Amino acid sequence: MRQQCMRAAVAAAISFMAAAVTQAAPIKTLDREGAWVSVEAYGPNVIHVTIAQDKAEVLKGPGFGILPANGDNKPFSHSGSKDGDTFSSPALSLHINAAPPPHVPSMGEKYFAPALAPVGLQVRNAAGETVLKMNGWEMSPQTVAGEKTYQVGASFAAPADEHYYGMGQNQESLGPLDLRGKVLDCQHWYDAPAGETVCVPFMVSSKGYGIVWDNASATRFVAGVNGRMGFQSKVGERVSFFVITGKTPEEIYSGYARLTGKTPIPPKAAFGLIQSKARYDSQQEVLRVAKTYREKKYPLDVMVVDWFYWTRMGQMDIDPAQFPDPDGMNKQLHDMGMQSIISIWPRYETSGRYFNELDAKGYFLKDKDGKTVDGLPFRSDRTGALIDATNPEARKWFWEKARDNVLSHGFDYPWLDETEPDLVPDGFFYSIGSGDRYHNLFPLLHVEGAAQGLRAWKPNKRGLILSRAAYLGSQRTGALFWSSDIQPTWEALARQVPTGLNMTASGIAYWGNDIGGWQKLGGHAASPRTPLIDGSEASAVIGEYRDYPELFTRWFQYGTFLPTLRVHGDRKETELWSFGKQAETILAEYNRLRYRLIPYIYSQAKFTHDTGAPFMRPLWMDFPQDPKVADIGTQYMFGPAFLVAPVTAQGQTEKDVYLPAGSDWYNFWTNEKLAGGQWVKVAAPIERIPVFVRAGSIVPIGAEIQSTATKQAISEIRVYPGRDGEFALYDDDGISYDYEKGKGSLTRLRWDNSKGALSATGGDSAFAKSAPGLVKVQGK
């Protein structure tokens, strides 16, 4: 039975890949006397190298997540010599060493030398500088899930001054950003001790290149340990990776976007406040919270309905006892200028109405005997079979039921939870192969299936999906990603800052977290220091966790400067008024600030769509000439103007902040001007976190609105003088896909520092004419 299951899976995988892949022929396939090396390109700065013992393996094309139709060999030329083969474009050159001459093996080589034919290569950038050197590769035979396969890997030189970033979501750091010196397990792992890990195997180096590791199995990344950088994956029959070079981060990320897909512009509502809780247990409660936001005149864009609104897991229905009129509820939300998101799980209990149908169709994850896997043996998730998102028919079935049974009741967007998947697939089987071989693949296929369904259902309404995990290419689904079910602690808050920066460095621009932490508040010891916020009014919510209102406030201040601002948590209340009057006043002020910054933030969404580069970014991206920023993970740039340094310790009222060299900086709150290239001690009373603005920045400020459903005027344009500056102010309808056709307004704002004057060109002519009159020069 096991062999039949494996044969069926392999056949399905071959069929799936054949249907999905349109691959150009490689530039060249080289014989290295026991190793085959295939080279193809994806434009001038992206080169794909595949190495295997079997020639057929190197000719199979790229794996999941890659867009093979974007292959483009035209910029490259090939030349060969006795030293090897060179592939050159204006952006990079790849040299693959010739096979070494045969020799009589030494006594040591007889026993310890690799059995593989040696393959070495070097990559040079446009300036001719060597940025990458591969020293060896690995294919070690092993049996995984009953399948004879290999552990595959590649090793590269790791110069002492090289720094490494990206590789998805890893929550182990409390501040340092550089991955150098670490060994990461790149795999989706909900139960990771520091918080869920998510594998997006894209590493970006300080040397001006990135590597996309093309293997969906659990992967180990060695980041400059003992002079070695490398990748090692659990299952594979070849080594496959892409090298992307660039003089700037934008060049590298544009190459990544060409390879794996562009990041869409989310609907504008995604940039407003998203209010959630585990859980709102009735439509009356949802509407009560929404109406309270409006009564208090606190801006809000999205209300979220979390789990257990259904009658049983996998029933894919809405419990009429809890939500008797979901259509009417959503109409009321829409009338208030709000939208809604609802959680839809990929799990099905055996007593549900669809289990037998799905089981009979083979649409579930299976064990080695072909039986459906129900629940987890090692955790308290006792029940539920996993929909097999690798099966196109199962994806189609899931989307149609989600659409017809749930979303059709007026809900705007789905929340696809448990996308790691939570039901760990190792040792089990998808339709295309073992869960070990495709350990990290589920979130891409599951979310992309829903994204494609949303677009087909409503062709000119932008899709939006909440997703808990990602893989190569996940950014193209238009999903918002978050860091899973983290603890409501100061430690967890501190971990979020470097975690998010390496996740966005992995090409996942829309990342956030549960503001306030997700887990229950019980059992968390209060700090011995006196809280900065009096929580006595919130005792029914916080219990004995006296400093939680302070934690929530600091977390929300940080969230104001995240790509998405979403409040969530498993507690009695999570709303802005839930933690006492002192907290409410501060939270409301930051919420208003968030909405006034939406013109600035939405313009960054256009930047990310155009370039692929994230707009929440580590300092090294904008200040590569300043060596002091290489390992700073406690502060970051939010767009081109803002430097943000979240407060992540209880009782902290001042913070040391590094101002990068090469610019002067303004304190956002006081307008004090400071020189870059220095650490400064910054006041951080509970009302504010350290935020600085780079000299030469132009920051459009929007009028106050209650939601993005209202067209927002620009009320002022803040200029921070000290050098010439530019800003591309972008706007569109915020709802449709018309922006893909160029239907949007792009106004270029320019500040001439010597003249002390701002000019505006393009976009709306009336606004361009009025823009100079909206200028407020700061620091004067």
Q: Which residues are catalytic?
A: 417, 420, 485
Where do runs of H (alpha helix) occur along 458-538?
490-505
Contact 460, 738 (CB under 8 A): yes
Write down the residue that tokens 């040391």 correspond to: 656
Backbone angles phi, psi at 350, to 5 degrees: -65, -25
555 closest CA partner among 680, 649, 485: 649
Contact 628, 659 (CB under 8 A): no
Where do runs of H (alpha helix) occur along 340-437?
355-361, 392-401
CA distance 142 to 220: 16
- Reduce the DSSP state of residue 731 to 3 states and report it: strand
Backbone angles phi, psi at 342, to 5 degrees: -135, 140
CA distance 46 to 725: 31
- Reduce the DSSP state of residue 567 to 3 states and report it: strand
Burial (CB count <10 Å: 0-12, 13-18, 19+), residue 653: exposed
Instruction: Write the secondary structure of 614-661 as one string of H (helix), E (strand) and C (coil).
Output: CCEECHHHHCCCCHHHCCECCCEEECCCEEECCCCCCCCCEEEEEECC
Indicate if the alpha-carbon torsion angle 66, 70, 75, 77 is positive or negative: positive
Contact 242, 462 (CB under 8 A): no
- Reduce the DSSP state of residue 42 to 3 states and report it: strand
Backbone angles phi, psi at 747, to 5 degrees: -105, 125
Backbone angles phi, psi at 779, to 5 degrees: 80, 10
Backbone angles phi, psi at 369, to 5 degrees: -95, 5
Contact 536, 581 (CB under 8 A): no
Strands 745-752 vs 28-31: parallel, antiparallel or unpaired? unpaired
Write down the residue that tokens 């809280």 correspond to: 531
CA distance 73 to 318: 51
Distances (CA, A) of 658 to 399, 536, 593, 629, 676: 48, 36, 24, 8, 8
Contact 777, 719 (CB under 8 A): yes
383 closest CA partner among 423, 353, 417, 415: 423
Beta strands in 266-422 (DSSP E): 273-275, 302-305, 339-344, 347-348, 385-386, 413-416
Token reading at 404: 């017809």
Hey, how many other C-beta atoms are within 10 angstroms of the C-beta on 113? 11
Identify the H or E element spanning 700. Answer: strand 697-702
CA distance 431 to 310: 28
Contact 224, 161 (CB under 8 A): no
164 closest CA partner among 440, 156, 130, 241: 156
301 closest CA partner among 569, 64, 594, 60: 594
